[in-house]
Chain A
Amino acid sequence: MNSIERIHNILHRQPVDRIGLFEHFWGDTHRKWTEEGHLRPGESIEDHFGFDIQNCWCFNLVAKLDFEPEVIEETDETILQRDGNGAVLRRHKLHDATPEHVDFLVKDRAGWEEHIKPFLTPERARINFDAYRQARRFAADRERFFCWGGVNVFELMHPVCGHEYMLMGMAVDPDWVKDMVNTFAEVTVALMETLFAEEGYPDGIWFYEDMGFKGRPFMSADMYREIVFPGHQRTVGFAKSAGLPVIMHSCGYVEPLVPGMIDAGIDCLQVIEVKAGMDLIQLYRDYGDRLSFMGGMDVRILYSNDRGAIEEELQRKIPVVKGNYGYVLHSDHSIPDQVEYESYKYFVDRGLELGRY
């Protein structure tokens, strides 16, 4: 069974030879493991560990495509820039991290209608056709399950106006936020139609959509249903109408939103962040008949580099969640450089051993 067949079956909860394998890494980890000689310079981490999935992120949905990021301030460690959304963001130069939200041109409906909405057209320049074509061929050569990857509406809105204005907007002016959801959903679907018509379909769709933080989602389940769900229904519905399975990523605690995400049509929930309160086994028991899972392995245990603890985590979870053939081994976020190569290798080797059918 190759990776394409395996992941296809896992997403449909059909019999497979073993659980799937995929992972995300902080950039520092790849660099450190290469410096330590575990990976050859330039070696693909997917090839090295034999991952089953490959993602390609090839859309640019910044409002003003031609805007050259304007550097406002730069230090040895950070850079403060205004981007094509009119957002002023501070990024760390030395390691990967979410940027600090410093200021936004868009704080309400008027700002959105003036500075962003008119520019969000589905023009070809938003698509990196070459990257998609090459990644699709690369994955096909390795018989790896190939996903178009990109962000969905929630993750597209906050770069424009920040979490705080977006969340206050959900309370004060929900029609404004609904308009943003609808606009981003339509432009995403239009761009997908263009790309797939010219370059061919991927094996699946991967949406990144961070809707939670520690212990709770950013919004109530009711607010999700009213405001964000229509965007998920539109984008996921488009994928499903083309026969493409959908994986949706969300950091944080999103359990109250899962029924809505299932109704929108997703096939797999990723990343199931334990430290935010997500419980892989409980999710499996509650939704395992309708949903596949990827992740949910506590990364804090991995960076303890304690083989016994890693073994215990794998033993406790894999025999349960492999039950319906719908599980892909993955940490509950990304692997930081505190995780030793040998620890991660052990995690993969033992995980796949336990995940054999």
Chain B
Amino acid sequence: MAEILEQLAMCIERGKVNASSPYPPDLKGQEGADELCKKALDDGLAPNDILANGLVVGMNAIGRKFSKNEVFVPDVLMAAKAMTAAMEHLRPFFDSGEATFKGTFVVGTVQGDLHDIGKNLVAMVVEGGGYKVVDLGVDVSPEKFLDAVKGNPGATVGLSALLTTTMVNMEKTVSLVKEAVPGTKVIVGGAPLTQEFADKIGADAYSPDPQGALDFLAAASA
């Protein structure tokens, strides 16, 4: 792997956004994900190569540390911010089709539930894992999830709920999506959820953290 991609992965993992960012203190004044991604493109590296061996490596590293409670939400948010800065340089290549995502992930918080922190963390880590993320936001109806699946053939669906009162709406969404588009994979997560509940409602997987969602996507597309 090119040295610049190793540096880029490190900047993503450490949440070093750009040269003017004071965080993390020990990298103050050094180039960040923003500058390094641009430089990698200028050096002629392929966008897919930069994504796979720079961004994905960095976000995977922070996601795994988060799963093991070695880092916390502020660290993941800063990593995601660095990833977004780098992604801005790659986006035109994905828009033109010159570069491709590993797959599409449709994610949202289910109907009746307005919580978004957990869902946002999952979206950040999955996007950093090389997937196109279609974030439907919060309070998303089963019909809206279905429309998004139809508009993104082959997409995997992620459903989030924080409340015991709204997790019941997951079952309706899973049923509707799987009935209308058989073969669609659905992963669920959120504070009140368990593997048992995921099994009961017919979801394909349950994950207690963002990295689990990314691992599921990787396994499903392998």
| Complex alpha-carbon distance, A291 and B15, angstroms | 37
| Complex alpha-carbon distance, A94 and B163, angstroms | 14
B202 within 8 A of A: no
Q: Would you list which residues of chain A between 258 and 295 have a CB under 8 Å from chain B?
A: 273, 275-276
Task: Specify which chain B residues have a CB less than 8 angstroms from the CB of A78 in the assembled complex.
Answer: 114, 139
Known pairs A95-B112, A100-B138, A167-B74; A276 contacts B164 (CB<8 A): no
As a 0/1 sequence over residues 202 to 219 of chain B, the CB contacts with chain A under 8 angstroms (1 = contact) are 000000110000000000
Q: How many A residues touch B, CB cutoff 8 Å?
A: 42
Task: Specify which chain A residues have a CB less than 8 angstroms from the CB of B75 in the assembled complex.
Answer: 171
A300 within 8 A of B: yes
Known pairs A95-B165, A336-B164, A337-B165; A170 contacts B74 (CB<8 A): yes
Main DSSP-derived SS at the B contact region: loop
Known pairs A168-B78, A172-B21, A219-B74; A97 contacts B113 (CB<8 A): yes
Quick one: which of A92, A220, A276, A303 contacts B139, CB cutoff 8 A? A92
Is there an interface contact between A215 and B114, defined as CB atoms closer than 8 Å? no
Nearest opposing residue in chain A for B166, CB measure: A97
Interface-located stretch among B52-60, B115-123, B148-156: B115-123
Task: Specify which chain B residues have a CB less than 8 angstroms from the CB of A92 in the assembled complex.
Answer: 112, 114, 139
Known pairs A92-B112, A275-B191; A215 contacts B209 (CB<8 A): yes
A41 within 8 A of B: no
Q: Would you list which residues of chain B between 164 and 184 have a CB under 8 Å from chain A?
A: 164-166
| Complex alpha-carbon distance, A301 and B161, angstroms | 18
B192 within 8 A of A: yes
| Complex alpha-carbon distance, A223 and B73, angstroms | 11
Q: Would you list which residues of chain A between 130 and 164 have a CB under 8 Å from chain B?
A: 163-164
B72 within 8 A of A: yes
Is there an interface contact between B163 and A97, defined as CB atoms closer than 8 Å? yes
Q: Would you list which residues of chain A between 195 and 227 have a CB under 8 Å from chain B?
A: 213-220, 223
As a 0/1 sequence over residues 328 to 349 of chain A, the CB contacts with chain B under 8 angstroms (1 = contact) are 0000010011100000000000
Is there an interface contact between A215 and B208, defined as CB atoms closer than 8 Å? yes
A247 within 8 A of B: no
A323 within 8 A of B: no
Quick one: which of B77, B137, B165 contacts A336, CB cutoff 8 A? B165
Known pairs A99-B114, A172-B21; A338 contacts B165 (CB<8 A): yes
B29 within 8 A of A: no
Is there an interface contact between B118 and A213, defined as CB atoms closer than 8 Å? yes
| Complex alpha-carbon distance, A10 and B137, angstroms | 44
B69 within 8 A of A: yes
A357 within 8 A of B: no
Given contact pairs A171-B15, A171-B23, A218-B73, a sample of 18 additional A-B residue pairs in the complex whose CB atoms are under 8 Å apart:
A26-B165, A90-B139, A97-B114, A97-B163, A100-B139, A164-B77, A170-B74, A171-B24, A172-B23, A213-B191, A214-B190, A214-B208, A215-B208, A217-B72, A219-B73, A223-B72, A333-B164, A337-B165
Interface residues of A (CB under 8 A from B): 26, 28, 77-78, 90-92, 94-95, 97-101, 163-164, 167-168, 170-173, 213-220, 223, 252, 273, 275-276, 299-300, 303, 333, 336-338
Interface residues of B (CB under 8 A from A): 15, 21-24, 69, 71-75, 77-78, 81, 112-118, 120, 137-139, 162-166, 190-192, 208-209
22 inter-chain pairs at a CB distance below 8 angstroms, sorted by A residue, are A78-B139, A90-B139, A97-B112, A97-B165, A98-B114, A100-B139, A164-B77, A167-B74, A168-B78, A170-B74, A171-B15, A171-B23, A171-B24, A172-B21, A214-B118, A214-B191, A215-B208, A215-B209, A218-B72, A218-B74, A223-B74, A299-B164
